[in-house]
Every structure is written in structure tokens, then in C-alpha cells.
């Protein structure tokens, strides 16, 4: 978003005659994405082995479905590597006496259809919904995915969303972040919720390199960083999400 | 309105010059213990002063100036249908000394002093003009929020300049001119956003760096004097 000054009026009044820099030079317009205040991070895995079921699809139904959006504000719900974030539009806010519910239905070729009721309550802005789907006829008990290790040194990650064609524009994403150690070929694990671009975690080990990933508007956004200090400022290319603003 | 003001300036200078031609012929006049009151008009807005001659060549002026101006839609932000308002509000209380160095040229003065800027604020406010969409969600202007950028020079500022035409009227009235500059303190900045623009306070450092050299406040001022 470029800022064009139409009039020299302000510049004259504000002493620009002796100064080279425009007051707005290199100023970026920063936009937050926390428009959906109540969100749910849905992750779908194969119950038998924790892998991603191929061609899995999600549909959202229920009385509140009209006010449920993907985190990008779109009504398209697509699982990207098994995950999608949904949330309540600003027109609907849960209260203590009136929580909001919807139903997520997962279908995938060769798998039994799974449904899950998701409840948005006033006291819980974020929630993780793990949905395990089983192959038709499978009797294998669902696996239990171990929690990632906890390290003594907390790490603060500041994510800045950028747009390739809009250098004077920045996004502070509020999204759920997945991570895995680079080169491990392990499935991504849930790291945490990034609130206005900031995530504080004890799940990252010093000296290790990690891939961080989130999905937004049906697209994977990722960045890699080696952790060697207590905080990092990471740039996240927002890709097609930039057209959302 | 602003253009009209600009056209008025040369006219007023010509009027003032008429008075001054007569004054220059009285170059031997002393200003000691003379008093006058002045109405100021110029780049410092409007103001008033009291002047007193403390020496044959030196007069002190104590006064106040006020700039209360604002302009709507002074700039556009691409891809963001918005209205903007730019304003500058400066109020200073100043004490200046007029020194007439040459007896043969009483219409030329060296002027120095200082002002305390009670208010010295430049502001830009940006608000969305109509509804804004986030994906398929229509946001109201209130949900999008607004953005305020404030630059504040409040504080003490020294002044240096020259004066044209005599500081005290020979008879009842005269007009003289001040050309000079204040050197303001390094400004403080503040960016306040609401709604989805709340994160723009992160740009305060950049804005402060951009305006840190905006310290020279030029003065071009006409003074309409009445001798007491």
C-alpha cells in the first residue's frame, strides 16, 4: 500500500524544506489477521500410523456454518497436508450461556467418514482438534502421537508476513504453527498459536534447525530457522494470502 | 483559502514598504524605552507581541503565535480506500531580541531569542472510507480501525533570523518583516492503530528516524505594529 502525498502543504508546515527524507519513507502498513477471534486448528491423520490420508476432504455443517470461515476469511475449507484452521466470523461471538457449535465431517477414499462436533466457547479463543480417520474395515487401534520434548530455554519467534509485490506492506499473522526438525522426514507436529506474529515456545532445542509451516487460504507457508538464541524475527512469505488484503 | 493568503503577502509587503520609506529617513531615531504592540501573520500562523526598547539598539519582543490548520485527504494509500486528515497545531510563546547593528540602516535587524512550543504537533489520521473485505468477510470501518501518526516537537527552541524594517513605528503604525528559523527539539513520534491496524505502532522507530532532522521551522512573518 503506497502512500501518496497529494499536497505539499503538510511538508511545508512540517519543515521539509531542510530535510531529505519524507516522513512516510519506508513506513510499512501493518495489518493483523486476527479477524477471526475464535478459531479451531483441525488436523486429520490416519489413525493407524499418523500419516496424512490421501484426498481427505472436510465439510463444515450445522446451524452456525454460515458464520464459520477458513482462517483467511474464505468459505473454502481445504485440508492442506491434513490441516485447516476454521473460526467464527466477527458477526458471531460465543457467550458463556450460548456456545457456538458446528460439525466437521472428514471424508477420504478408502476411509470411514469421521465427524466431530466443534464447540466455540467464550473462554477459549483457540483449540486444537485432532481427527483420526480409520481405513474401512481397519481394526487397528489408533496410535498415540507422543508430545514433542520440552526444553528449558524458551524461544520467542516473531513472524513477519511479507508480500513479494508490496514492499511497504506487512502482515502480523495470527495462525497455528506446525514444525519439524529439518531433514527428519517426520510428520509436522503442532508447535503453538502465533498471536499477531508472536509465538513463545519451549519446544525448540538450541542448535537444532526446524521447518515451520502453517496453512492459510489453502496454501502452505513455510520458513526454516536454526535455533541458537532466545528470539528470532522470521520472515514469512505470505504468498497468495497477500491478495486477501 | 491558502492561495488567497499567498497572494496577500506581496500586497502587504508593498503596503509596509510605503511606511518604511518614511522611516528610513529617520535613521537616527532611538528605540530606547519605546513600546509597541504587534499583530503577526505568516508561517507561524497568527500571533501578537509586545515590544519594548531596552537599549538604543535593542528591543525585546514577547509574544505568542498559533497555527491551527488541517487538510482533509492530503494523501492516498494505494489499495486502501481511505480518508485522511493532516493537521499541524503549533503554539509558541517567544521572547526575541531585535538588534539594530547599523545606525545608517535602521531597517535591518538581527533577531535572536527562543520560544517555548506549548504545542508543536503534526498529525496524520487515516480511516477506511467504506467497508473492507477480508476474504469473504465484510468488515465495517470500525472493525478495520484507524491509524494516527503524531509527531510532537513540544519544548524549547532557539530562534535566529533577520528583521526587515524598523522594530518600532516612528508614528503610530508600521509593518515589518521577520525572516528566520526556529531550531526545534528532536521530535517524539507516536503511532496508534486500532482494529486490524493495531500493529502499526511497530513503525514508530522508522517514523522517528524519518523525521529526526525535521527541526528547522522556517519563519516568514509580517508584523503590524502600533506604537504605545
Whole-angstrom Cα distance, residue B96 to residue B85?
33
Beta strands per DSSP E along chain B: 35-42, 45-53, 58-72, 75-77, 82-99, 108-128, 132-134, 137-139, 147-152, 155-164, 173-183, 188-193, 216-227
Query: How many domains are there within chain A?
Result: 2
Same domain as A126, residue A159: no
Please indicate, yes or no, whether residues A161 and A230 belong to a single structural domain of this protein.
yes
Are A10 and B124 within 8 A, CB to CB?
A: yes
A119-137 as b/e: b if 16+ CB within 10 A: ebeeeebbbebebbbbeee
Residue B58 to chain A, least CA–CA distance (Å): 29
Give the span between the Cα atoms of A242 and A6, in whole angstroms: 26
Is the model more confident about A146 or about B116? B116
CA distances from A24 to A50, A87, A195, B211, B218 (A): 50, 35, 27, 9, 21
A99 and A171 part of one domain: no
Q: Residue B149 pLDDT more than 70?
A: yes
Asked if residue A117 and residue A169 are part of one domain, the reply reads: no
Do A171 and A105 share a structural domain? no
Chain B nearest-CA distance from A43, in A, is: 22
CA–CA distance, B28 with B166 (Å, rounded to integer): 12
Q: Domain for residue A49, yes or no?
A: yes
Contacts of B214 in chain A (CB under 8 A): 14-16, 18-19, 23
C-alpha cell at A211: 521447518
Please indicate, yes or no, whether residues A163 and A119 belong to a single structural domain of this protein: no
Q: Is residue A8 in a domain?
A: no
Position A6 in a domain: no
How far apart CA A69 and CA B24 sit, in angstroms, is: 80
Distance from CA of B183 to the nearest CA of A (A): 10
Strands B108-128 and B137-139: unpaired
The answer to whether B44 touches B219, Cβ cutoff 8 Å, is yes
Q: Which domains, and CATH codes, for chain B?
A: 2-227 (2.40.160.170)
Domain boundary among A98, A133, A168: A133
Nearest to B210 among A1, A21, A197 (CB): A21
Asked if residue A140 is part of any domain, the answer here is no
Which residue among A5, A16, A31 places its CB closest to the CB of B75? A5
A3 lies in some domain: no
pLDDT of residue B1: 38
The confidence score (pLDDT) of residue B62 equals 97
Residues spanned by the domain of A208: 155-244
Q: Do A163 and A230 reside in the same domain of the chain?
A: yes
pLDDT value for A242:
79
**Does residue A63 sit within a domain?**
yes
B71 in reach of chain A (CB within 8 A)? yes
In a shared domain, residues A122 and A164: no
Residue A13: inside a domain, yes or no?
A: no
A10:B71 CB<8 A = yes
One domain for residues A128 and A160: no
What local confidence, expressed as pLDDT, does residue A20 receive? 64
What ipTM did this prediction achieve?
0.81
- Per the CB < 8 Å rule, is B216 touching A21? no
Q: Domain of A212: which CATH number?
A: 2.60.40.1120
Verify that A43 and A129 share a domain, yes or no. yes
Q: Which of residues 206-235 of A touch B (CB under 8 A)?
A: 217
Last residue of a domain, one of A99, A133, A167: A133
What pLDDT does A2 receive? 44
Residue A143 lies in a domain: no
What is the pLDDT tens value at each position of chain A, 245 positions in all? 444 444 434 444 444 445 567 777 888 889 898 899 999 999 999 998 888 898 899 999 999 999 999 999 999 999 988 999 999 999 999 999 999 999 999 999 999 999 999 999 999 999 999 999 999 988 888 888 888 889 999 999 999 999 888 888 899 999 999 999 999 988 889 999 999 999 999 999 999 999 999 888 888 888 999 999 999 999 988 887 777 66
Say whether both A89 and A175 belong to one domain: no
A88: helix, strand or coil: strand
* Same-domain check for residues A108 and A175: no
Amino acid at each position: 500500500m503506497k502512500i501518496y502525498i497529494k499536497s505539499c502543504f503538510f511538508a511545508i508546515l512540517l519543515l521539509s524544506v531542510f530535510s531529505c527524507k519524507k516522513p512516510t519513507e519506508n513506513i510499512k502498513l501493518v495489518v493483523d489477521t486476527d479477524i477471526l477471534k475464535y478459531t479451531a486448528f483441525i488436523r486429520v491423520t490416519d489413525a493407524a500410523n499418523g500419516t496424512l490420508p490421501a484426498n481427505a476432504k472436510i465439510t463444515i455443517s450445522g446451524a452456525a456454518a454460515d458464520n464459520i470461515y477458513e482462517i483467511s476469511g474464505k468459505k473454502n475449507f481445504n485440508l492442506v497436508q491434513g490441516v485447516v484452521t476454521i473460526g467464527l466470523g466477527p458477526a458471531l461471538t460465543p457467550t458463556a450461556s450460548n456456545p457456538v457449535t458446528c460439525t466437521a465431517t472428514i471424508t477420504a477414499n478408502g476411509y470411514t467418514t469421521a465427524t466431530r462436533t466443534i464447540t466455540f466457547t467464550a473462554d477459549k479463543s483457540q483449540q486444537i482438534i485432532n481427527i483420526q480417520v480409520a481405513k474401512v474395515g481397519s481394526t487397528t487401534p489408533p496410535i498415540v502421537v507422543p508430545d514433542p520434548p520440552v526444553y528449558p530455554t524458551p524461544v520467542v519467534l516473531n513472524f513477519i508476513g511479507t508480500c513479494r509485490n508490496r514492499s511497504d506492506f506487512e502482515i502480523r499473522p495470527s495462525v497455528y504453527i506446525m514444525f519439524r526438525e529439518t531433514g527428519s522426514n517426520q510428520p509436522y507436529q503442532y508447535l503453538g498459536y502465533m498471536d499477531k506474529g508472536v509465538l513463545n515456545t519451549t519446544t525448540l532445542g538450541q542448535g537444532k534447525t526446524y521447518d515451520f509451516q502453517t496453512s492459510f487460504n489453502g496454501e502452505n507457508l513455510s520458513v526454516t530457522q536454526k535455533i541458537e538464541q532466545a528470539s528470532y524475527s522470521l520472515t514469512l512469505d505470505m504468498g497468495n494470502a497477500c491478495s486477501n488484503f | 483559502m491558502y492561495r488567497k493568503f499567498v497572494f496577500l503577502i506581496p500586497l502587504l509587503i508593498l503596503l509596509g514598504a510605503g511606511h518604511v520609506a518614511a522611516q528610513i529617513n529617520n535613521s537616527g531615531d532611538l528605540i530606547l524605552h519605546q513600546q509597541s504592540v504587534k499583530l503577526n501573520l505568516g508561517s507561524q500562523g497568527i500571533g501578537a507581541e509586545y515590544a519594548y526598547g531596552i537599549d538604543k539598539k535593542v528591543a525585546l519582543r514577547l509574544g505568542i503565535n498559533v497555527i491551527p490548520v488541517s487538510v482533509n485527504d492530503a494523501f492516498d494509500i494505494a489499495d486502501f480506500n481511505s480518508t485522511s486528515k493532516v493537521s499541524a497545531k503549533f503554539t509558541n510563546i517567544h521572547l526575541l531580541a531585535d538588534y539594530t547593528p547599523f545606525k545608517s540602516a535602521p531597517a535591518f535587524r538581527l533577531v535572536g531569542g527562543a520560544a517555548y512550543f506549548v504545542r508543536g504537533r503534526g498529525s496524520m489520521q487515516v480511516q477506511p472510507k467504506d467497508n473492507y473485505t477480508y476474504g469473504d468477510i465484510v468488515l465495517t470501518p470500525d472493525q478495520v480501525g484507524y491509524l494516527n501518526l503524531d509527531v510532537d516537537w513540544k519544548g524549547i527552541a532557539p530562534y535566529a533570523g533577520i528583521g526587515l524594517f524598523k522594530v518600532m513605528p516612528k508614528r503610530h503604525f508600521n509593518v515589518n518583516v521577520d525572516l528566520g528559523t526556529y531550531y526545534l527539539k528532536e521530535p517524539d513520534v507516536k503511532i496508534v492503530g486500532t482494529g486490524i491496524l493495531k500493529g502499526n505502532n511497530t513503525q514508530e522507530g522508522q517514523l522517528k528516524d524519518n523525521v529526526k532532522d525535521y527541526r528547522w521551522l522556517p519563519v516568514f512573518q509580517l508584523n503590524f505594529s502600533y506604537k504605545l
